[in-house]
Chain A
């Protein structure tokens, strides 16, 4: 209970205080304080430059050029990262593989976020039977360990999507397959967060107010509720990129992911364990790049989570 002494502290302030920071400034200030997160940003920029600028120096056809007379060569001046089992240059492949791995990570999260937000928003906003059907489905998907589901889905879609040409590049259909299945097997967590947010927000006064003045459901969802659950969506999406890159690596490592000749950091590792004693460069370089990327994204995600923490932002 409030007693007299305590209420003293609530007296009107006589002094001018510095203008409060906008939430955006506050988030940025907190993010900057997170040294690891800033380091993560720099690491990410470096890795993106590596796979984008690197591509200006070597062509994709060189990355996919096989020369079996030069297979399994250790790192040298000609092939700084060595060559793989069919004589392709590993440095060039990590550059192009990086592009694909990063693209897969980004687009898979796009799919994941769209599906997750859509299902969570619909379930939370409409409630009732729609909610319980969608949530049963979400729970069912949650109960199948992701890697198993990924492998089954990888088989399901394999060969069903044709190779496409985009910006003068050829993208193997398997890249699209991987993006789709990664997105379709990881949206459940996000859907639950968004649903919970919607459930609690839709009863709040400002939503009821919007409804009484005749705002449409879609407008309410997009303009009023969604911005309020942005923080967990952003954090989950950031960390999602890391786990998508990891998952891609897992299924490609098991030979069910992106099919050669298209390189990804994951499929470069496929079969590397057969040469564990004779050609460690097969897995050291792409493996390290995966670890660095995931690490960098995790740092950034961690920093974002702290910076966006609503418990401290509301103050």
Chain B
């Protein structure tokens, strides 16, 4: 069976005044119909750039997708022209962004911002789009939706704006919803509400979801498959249980140790990972995580490991077997 979306060896770079930023360095993954994929990593590890590349929303220049394929329903999105790509964006693949404060246009009503996608993609008239927009606003839980059609973004709270963003993304019933850290900018209680909302809508509408986050805790109850990214590389991927119960990459291990868990004693101190993520301007020749890695061996500094299987669907890119602490 062909997957809904297949990303192959995708690589994206930014050519800046200071040099070339190697943001995404050959990543591959697949997404099935209705499946939820979590992409995890620290800020600046290339997770946002990787999905923006899928949508072809990388600002060019300075950015450029230098290699790879993005196959959606058998069609390579990277070979489409702008007009064809516009038919994919919003209609087939929709996106919710991190900061609902800046992602909505401040000078246009939210009704207009939602209905314009309906008019552009579904060929609706103003009135039809308006009626549908009110339905969508109700669906995402905006009270008095009909009255709020004419309101501007600044008249909504952060959580409500993110609901508006979700309504906007779902307006044309996309097959894939990409959520780029949609809860990072929100309060904890609101975070949970938004996650529950997306879950409920996903199950109701049967769409696939790519959920990007730096918070492994969020992914646990949401995704089926997880990708862990570091410095533009995929360092570990697997089923959600593989990642949580049997993490094999030192970076994933460190990430999990830094997470507060109810099944561990509260006396235990949360671990931090020493050091900073590498500068994507000049990547070290070896494994990018090596400088911060406690399992580091000589080889890590010379050669960057490829992904290789350690379980049925479980792969890591590491020279060391963390269960033994020895080089494989």
Contact = CB atoms under 8 A, between A and B. Distances in A.
- Among B40, B187, B258, chain A packs the most CB atoms within 10 A around the CB of B258
A13 B214 contact: no
A166 interface: no
Contacts, number: 54
B65 to A, nearest CB: 26
A15 B184 contact: no
A5 B188 contact: no
Contact of A11 (B40, B44, B216, B273): B273
Interface in B98-132: none
B275 A5 contact: no
Interface string A3-17: 111111101111100
Contacts of B44: 9
Contacts of B215: 3-5
Interface in A1-58: 1, 3-9, 11-15, 33
B274 A14 contact: yes
Contacts of A8: 42, 254-255, 258, 272-273
Interface in B13-68: 17, 40, 42-44
Given A1-B187, A1-B188, A14-B292, A6 B214 contact: yes
Interface in B219-264: 254-255, 258-260
A3 B277 CA distance: 17
Interface of A, secondary structure class, is: loop
A11 B292 CA distance: 11
A234 B297 CA distance: 54
A5 B255 CA distance: 7
Nearest to B213: A5
What 8 pairs across the A-B complex have the smallest Cβ distances?
A: A5-B214, A11-B272, A14-B275, A8-B273, A5-B215, A3-B215, A4-B258, A14-B274
Interface of B: 17, 40, 42-44, 184, 186-188, 213-217, 254-255, 258-260, 270, 272-277, 291-292
28 contacts: A1-B187, A1-B188, A3-B214, A4-B215, A4-B258, A4-B259, A5-B40, A5-B42, A5-B213, A5-B215, A5-B216, A5-B255, A5-B259, A6-B43, A6-B214, A8-B42, A8-B273, A9-B276, A11-B272, A11-B273, A11-B274, A11-B276, A12-B275, A13-B275, A14-B275, A14-B292, A15-B275, A15-B291
Given A11-B276, A14-B291, 20 more contacts: A4-B215, A4-B258, A4-B270, A5-B42, A5-B255, A7-B258, A7-B272, A8-B254, A8-B255, A8-B272, A9-B43, A9-B44, A11-B272, A12-B274, A12-B275, A13-B275, A14-B275, A14-B292, A15-B275, A15-B291
